Amino acid sequence: MITRSVTIEAIDDLYLEWNDHLNCSALYRRALREEMQLRDVNPHELRDLLNRAQEQGYTLEEIAAETNRVADLEVLVKDTE
């Protein structure tokens, strides 16, 4: 798993202290899914493309370096099939 740094404001920290039962990972993933939806990215399709690229031998770092959108990932996967 890859972890990312996130800036927490004082109000965020206080709210999380009050509600320590909240799953911050789930909140983060939900926010990312909302961003994907705004950009018409289907998370199931993206997951499938990522899996196919990795099955073809690409690492996550290589995929990120060679692509910057779903269409690029589609081309990468098709070029190696």
The whole-number pLDDT of residue 8 equals: 87
Parent domain of 30: 10-79
Q: Is residue 62 part of a domain?
A: yes
51 or 1, greater pLDDT: 51
pLDDT of 70 above 70: yes
pLDDT of 1 above 70: no
Angle at 2 between CA 23 and CA 39, to 5 degrees: 75
pLDDT of 81 above 90: no
Q: Work out the percent of the chain whose per-residue pLDDT is above 70.
A: 98
Q: Is residue 3 part of a domain?
A: no
User: Which tokens go with 57?
Assistant: 């031998």
The whole-number pLDDT of residue 57 equals: 96
Count of Cβ atoms closer than 10 Å to residue 58 Cβ = 20
Domain count, the chain: 1
Q: Is residue 2 part of a domain?
A: no
pLDDT of 13 above 80: yes
